Amino acid sequence: MRNADIARLQYAQAAIEALGKLSPEERAAFVKMLQERAAARGVALPGEVVPEPKELGEVLTDLHGKPGQLRDILASGDAQPHEQAQPSNPIIDILASPQAKAVLAGIAAMVVKRVMQGSSRTA
């Protein structure tokens, strides 16, 4: 298995685990926000994104696989195209959204946990 495939699998597993920690209502709110922001940026999501951890995790993993796409979707709540938007810091914009912050923090924590568990096995 290539490193890129391993990284994708780790990200997908971390996303599913992180999304599983959210309530159904929180996941539904995240899906709604994701759909609105993707539509505002002209990004096509699968026909119906369901707020279940596995399916939503796959959507996030696909978006993450295209450099910058997930960040751009989650970065700003406004619907202005990039050409008209005021310059901003994408990390600060992402952290302004409670749903995006919770999901991305959870994914990051799960990835770190998996990497640390993997490195402790090889040490």
CA angle 48, 21, 122 (to 5 degrees): 110
Instruction: Give residue 119's pLDDT.
Output: 59
Full-model pTM: 0.69
What is the C-alpha separation between 115 and 90, in angstroms, rounded? Answer: 26
Instruction: Give residue 82's pLDDT.
Output: 43
Instruction: Give residue 53's pLDDT.
Output: 93
Tell me the pLDDT tens digit for each residue of 47-86.
788 999 999 999 999 998 888 888 888 875 544 444 444 4
What is the C-alpha separation between 65 and 87, in angstroms, rounded? Answer: 25
Residues 6+ apart with CB under 8 A from 71: 90, 94
Tell me the pLDDT tens digit for each residue of 3-57.
888 888 888 988 898 899 888 998 898 899 899 889 988 888 887 889 999 999 9
Tell me the pLDDT tens digit for each residue of 97-112.
666 777 777 787 777 7
